[in-house]
Chains A and B, each alone.
Chain A
Amino acid sequence: MRAFALRALGLLVLLLALLVCGVVAAQPASDDDSAASDDDSASDDDSAASDDDSAGDDDSAPSKDIASTESAEVDAVTGEAEAAEEGGAVRSEQWFGSADTEEGVPWGYFTLLLLILTTGGLMLYFTKQAQAGKEMFIRRMPGIDAIEDGIGRATEMGKPVLYVPGIDDLQDIQTIASMLILGQVSKTIAEYQCELIVSCCVPIVREVADEVVRAGFYQAGYPDAFRPEEIRFIAADQFAFCAGTNGIMLREKPATNIYLGRFFAESLILAETGYLNRSIQIAGTAEATQLPFFVAACDYTLIGEELFAVSAYLSRDPRLVSSLKASDYLKVAIVTALLVGTILASFGNTLMVDLFSLTLPGN
Chain B
Amino acid sequence: MKLLSCKEATSLVSQGLDRRLGLVERLNVRLHLLVCDGCSRVARQFAFMRKAVRQLGERES
* A and B: interacting chains: no
Residues in B lying within 8 Å of A, measured CB to CB: none
Contacts from A to B (Cβ < 8 Å): none
